[in-house]
Amino acid sequence: MGVAERKLREKEQLKNLILSGAKKLFLEKGIEKTTIRNIADEIDYSIGTVYVYFKDKDEIFNGLHSQGFQQLRSLMLPLLKVNDPMERLKALGHIYVDFALDNPDMYELMFSMKAPMAYLEKARMDEWNEGQATFEILRKTVGDCLEKGHFQGHQLNPLTYLIWGTVHGICSFNSNGRIMCVQEEPSEELVRSSYEEFTSLMERF
């Protein structure tokens, strides 16, 4: 390994260390109450080192967001090879449910944690690359289902949003503890069996 390649790897490792430390603190303290100094202390580096890689806390949050969606998208991409769009759609949901159950902290950060207002304003102006790319896998699959005669009479965009929202709701009730209000079986089993019920409904259309 050459010097340049080694330095590049070391920079990537340090960047990931910053993200890992920030993730821990965001989940423990909340984003608003976490400072750059907190993050630097958590990873035992100087504040200046953190600023070399991220201009502010919002950019760190964005980096974590992108990291989560990259991970989810990498799991979904191989399913594009599945020719039957309904089978692909069901499989995408299984991937989503597994991701939510296996990575509760990242899922919380990606979907449930309230972002700083500055980040929300920036997100409205900038293209949300990773999140949009992940959503497009689902949208393409729903579109393929429509072309094959499934979901007759329904429109692509609202239908895609409905499917995503339903599966997300099943997962988020578990991640935020609300599932305890109705739980009659272990929570993960209830999430998975609820998703199976949903897929059986989709197959009727």
Residue-by-residue pLDDT tens, the chain, 205 positions: 676 777 788 889 999 999 999 999 998 988 888 999 999 999 999 999 999 999 988 889 888 988 999 999 999 999 999 999 999 999 999 999 999 999 988 898 888 666 654 555 565 545 457 788 899 999 999 999 999 999 999 999 999 999 999 999 999 887 766 666 666 655 888 899 999 999 999 988 8
Phi, psi torsion values for 153, nearest 5 degrees: 90, 0
By residue count, the chain amounts to 205
Token representation of residue 89: 């759609």
pTM of the model: 0.84
CA 176 to chain centre: 15
Token representation of residue 20: 């890992």
Domains assigned to the chain? 1-54 (1.10.10.60), 64-203 (1.10.357.10)
Label residues 10-45 b or e (16+ Cβ within 10 Å = b): eeeebbebbbebbbebbbeeebeebebebbbebbeb
Task: With beta carbons less than 8 A apart as the criterion, state whether 154 and 146 touch.
Answer: yes
Which residues make Cβ contacts (< 8 Å) with residue 164, sequence separation at least 6? 135, 138
Task: With beta carbons less than 8 A apart as the criterion, state whether 174 and 103 touch.
Answer: no
CA atoms of 104 and 102, how far apart (whole Å): 6
